[in-house]
């Protein structure tokens, strides 16, 4: 199944990678490549990730990766990756 990265996801990922790069460019690159590799595995078993806690729809799933949640929608034609959320404790 084809994976499509929506503009919102690309923007959020870029901002997060830039933030990590302020501390370590090599860790930022590794985070980016590891996350994208993990996302590409979705096409094999798209329903293996948990049902999204952000949406009431069985076709929207949350992929957990190192404290981040990648939100994606499964359609008949493709998988749309559209969200990136970082877990934050409330103050």
User: 3-state DSSP call for residue 67?
Assistant: coil
88 falls in which pLDDT band (50, 70, 90)? Answer: low
Q: Mean pLDDT across the stretch 36-55?
A: 95
pTM of structure: 0.90
| pLDDT band at 87; cut points 50, 70, 90 | confident
pLDDT score recorded for residue 91:
57
pLDDT score, position 48:
95
What distances in angstroms separate CA 39 from CA 27, 54, 64, one per listed residue? 18, 19, 10
Task: Compare 59 and 91 and report the one with higher pLDDT.
Answer: 59
CATH code for residues 2-86? 3.30.2310.20
Q: What is the distance between the alpha carbons of residues 66 and 5, in angstroms, rounded to a whole number?
A: 19
> What average pLDDT does the chain have?
94
Burial of residue 4 (number of CB atoms within 10 Å: 0-12, 13-18, 19+): middle
The answer to whether residue 68 scores a pLDDT higher than 70 is yes
The upper half-sphere exposure of residue 59, i.e. CA atoms within 13 Å in the direction of its Cβ, equals 8
In angstroms, the CA 37 to CA 75 distance is 21
Query: What beta strand segments (E) does 1-91 contain?
Result: 2-5, 50-51, 60-65, 68-74, 78-86
Residue 31: pLDDT above 70?
yes
Domain boundaries, the chain: 2-86
């Amino acid at each position: 199944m084809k994976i499509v990265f929506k503009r919102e996801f690309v923007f959020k990922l870029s901002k997060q990678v830039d933030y990590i790069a302020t501390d370590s460019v090599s860790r930022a690159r590794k985070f980016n490549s590891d996350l994208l590799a993990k996302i590409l595995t979705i096409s094999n078993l798209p329903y293996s990730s948990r049902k999204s806690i952000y949406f009431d729809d069985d076709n929207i799933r949350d992929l957990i990766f190192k404290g981040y949640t990648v939100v994606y929608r499964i359609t008949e034609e493709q998988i749309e990756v559209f969200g990136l959320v970082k877990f934050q404790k409330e103050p």
